[in-house]
Amino acid sequence: MNIKQLFDNKNLVFSFEIFPPKPDYPIETVHDTIEELSVLNPDYISVTYGAGGSVNNNRTCQLSHLIKDKYNIESLAHLTCIGSNKEYIDCVLEELREKGINNILALRGDIGSIGVGEFNNSQELIQYIKQNGDFGVAAACYPEGHIESKKDVDKDVRILKLKEDAGADYFISQLFFDNSYFYNLLDKAEQKGIKAPIQAGIMPVINKKQIERVVSLCGASLPNKFLRIMNKYEYDKLALRDAGIAFALEQIVDLASSGIKGIHLYTMNNPYIAKNITNNIGFILSSINRQRVI
Ligand code: FAD
């Protein structure tokens, strides 16, 4: 199934993201996590690709296959094109096809030390995937602007339109801690005539190291309210984790009640977080999606 159909049939799509274990750890180390996440009944689960340049595509493909095959949950395989040529992408597409995976999150990837390769940006990858198979394609968007755009959201929205025109069926946003950035992006996308649904990426923050890493990688702003929580619970791990979950819940309740199309939860392979969030928003999800049925 093309995940786009979920957006056609539900008011609010709710999904999880996981990452494969590093190559020196057995792939099975993430199997229990998937099992625990599957019980929470997400609409789909996405699997990251080559995060930090250390994970090979087989693991993304294998885990995406496991999610579909064993748990009967739709999966979304991330794929980056940085440093790749068409021959390599063809092999990955073939592998995904063989394993029955229908949905790809098409990304450029971070430039780092790798040269660009045969694809200059995600738009070219999206177009290539659409021309070479019957895949549903998602793409990334950035409520605070992509780090290379230097917070120029207008420029990014122009690029977003190019991604939609290239064939992106829907978008998943970079994480953010202040919902006003996401609403701003939705307004700008609408003004630009973008019709594809935009899912909000939410990352519950569970420790200080993680926050520092996230901010340095994607440049997300930290609202005062959030900084106060961090300072207050800096040395109390469990309190910080639960305060992080509570903060994410507040974000999600606000977004869901404002009628956005979907929430994508960066679970960080932590079922405790996913369970807490899902159980607490269950009533909103069922209420919002029931309205559609009536
Ligand atoms: P692009 O859409 O190509 O954009 C990159 C930059 O180039 C932007 O500044 C954009 O404005 C600019 N640009 C793009 N096209 C043009 C054009 N035609 N003309 C001028 N400028 C242009 N990384 C991983 O390695 N693995 C993952 O699994 C992964 N998953 C992710 C999931 C989500 C939901 C998100 C939001 C990000 C993810 N990333 C992942 C990170 C991502 O690879 C980086 O953010 C990367 O730097 C940009 O990827 P992109 O697909 O958005 O690139």
How many Cα neighbours within 13 Å face the side chain of 31? 9
Number of the ligand 1 atom closest to the C-alpha atom of 201: 34
- The amino acid sitting at 54 is S
* pLDDT confidence of residue 241: 92
What is the ipTM score, two decimals? 0.99
* pLDDT confidence of residue 293: 53
State the Cα–Cα distance between residues 19 and 7, nearest whole angstrom. 24
| Annotation says 17 is catalytic | yes
Q: How far is the CA of 163 from the centre of ligand 1 (A)?
A: 11
105, 29, 25, 118: which is closest to 66 by C-alpha?
29
Neighbours of 51 (CB within 10 A): 15
Spans of the chain below 70 pLDDT = 51-57, 291-294
> What CATH number has the domain spanning 4-290?
3.20.20.220
Q: For ligand 1, atom 8, name the residue with the nearest CA.
A: 146
* pLDDT confidence of residue 292: 63
DSSP state of 84: B
Number of the ligand 1 atom closest to the C-alpha atom of 162: 18
Taking only the tens place, the pLDDT of each residue in 78-87 is: 999 999 999 9
Scanning the chain, the segments in alpha helix (DSSP H) are 4-9, 31-38, 57-71, 86-98, 122-131, 153-166, 179-191, 208-218, 224-233, 237-257, 271-293
Residues with CB under 6 A from ligand 1: 48-51, 78, 80, 105, 107-110, 121-123, 140, 146, 148-149, 155-156, 159, 162, 172, 174, 201
* pLDDT confidence of residue 115: 77
